[in-house]
């Protein structure tokens, strides 16, 4: 029976994550209420606009349930999701959940026009758990991880900065793995469930 993985479906490209999770072998569940969190094994917080997501989480009374969920089950944040999971957010500073010991700078790769597709070379451990080979990484107004705490494991870098990291059961990517047909990053997350 496939694991049920939620995708926060308030804003951002949650449908692409749902399709990537299906390709990786999970059953995606779109999460819009605290009740939705009760039936899932893990959660993906997609890219989008982190300040808008915070406002929507507030409006939907999801902040505290999401914090509680992250204390007990795996969460995978991409781009804006990475910002929300970080310990510290800069440029400008904003609220976050502090799930992973990271400091991130928002939109640090530049504006929308500076978005890019790059090839990254993951650490051998990534290959052992998700499949070997390079990964195509789509960066769209992406944050940069400026500091990773001692418990954070860097699984891939781009131009010397961490772009795929994990701490315990949680995973963060500053790029958008859901925008490619390669589901290995999602498979890596499923290995944590």
CA distances from 171 to 45, 59, 60 (A): 10, 26, 24
What is the per-residue pLDDT across 29-80, written as a single tens digit (0 to 9) for each?
999 999 999 999 999 999 999 999 999 999 999 999 999 999 999 999 999 9
Give the pLDDT of residue 1.
85
Give the pLDDT of residue 31.
98
CA distances from 174 to 9, 45, 47, 143 (A): 19, 12, 9, 6
Q: Is 170 a catalytic residue?
A: no
- The residue from 17, 79, 166, 170 that is catalytic is 79
What is the per-residue pLDDT across 83-116, written as a single tens digit (0 to 9) for each?
999 999 999 999 999 999 999 999 776 556 567 8
Mean pLDDT of 15-20: 97
Mean pLDDT of 185-192: 97
- Residue 153 sits in a domain whose CATH number is 3.40.50.880
| Number of residues written out for the chain | 193
The pTM score is 0.96
Give the pLDDT of residue 114.
61
- The residue from 17, 166, 170, 176 that is catalytic is 176
- Which stretches of the chain are assigned E, i.e. beta strand? 4-8, 27-31, 42-45, 75-78, 86-90, 100-105, 116-120, 135-139, 144-148, 153-158, 161-167, 170-173
- In 3D, which of 148, 141, 150 has the Cα closest to residue 172? 148
Domain span holding position 151: 4-190
Give the pLDDT of residue 84.
97
Give the pLDDT of residue 107.
78
Overall number of domains in the chain: 1
Q: Is 176 a catalytic residue?
A: yes
Q: Is 79 a catalytic residue?
A: yes
Give the pLDDT of residue 110.
59
Mean pLDDT of 18-36: 97
Distance CA 193, CA 74 (A): 7
What is the per-residue pLDDT across 118-172, written as a single tens digit (0 to 9) for each?
999 999 999 999 999 999 999 998 899 999 999 999 999 999 999 999 999 999 9
What is the per-residue pLDDT across 172-186, written as a single tens digit (0 to 9) for each?
999 999 999 999 999
């Amino acid at each position: 029976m496939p694991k049920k993985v939620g995708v926060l479906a308030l804003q951002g490209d949650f449908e692409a994550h749902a399709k990537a999770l299906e390709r990786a072998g999970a059953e995606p569940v779109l999460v819009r209420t605290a009740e939705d969190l009760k039936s899932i094994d893990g959660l993906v917080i997609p890219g989008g606009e982190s300040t808008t997501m915070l406002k929507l989480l507030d409006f939907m009374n999801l902040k505290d349930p999401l914090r509680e969920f992250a204390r007990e089950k795996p969460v995978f944040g991409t781009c804006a999701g990475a910002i929300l999971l970080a310990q510290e957010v800069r440029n400008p500073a904003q609220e976050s959940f502090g799930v992973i010991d990271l400091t991130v700078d928002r939109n640090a790769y530049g504006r929308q026009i500076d978005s890019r597709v790059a090839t990254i070379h993951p650490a051998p451990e990534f290959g052992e758990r998700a499949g070997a080979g390079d990964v195509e990484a789509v960066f769209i107004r992406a944050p940069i991880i400026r500091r990773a705490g001692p418990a954070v494991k860097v699984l891939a870098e781009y131009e010397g900065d961490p772009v795929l990291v994990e701490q315990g059961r949680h995973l963060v990517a500053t790029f958008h793995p859901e925008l490619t047909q390669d589901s290995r990053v999602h498979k890596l997350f499923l290995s944590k469930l």
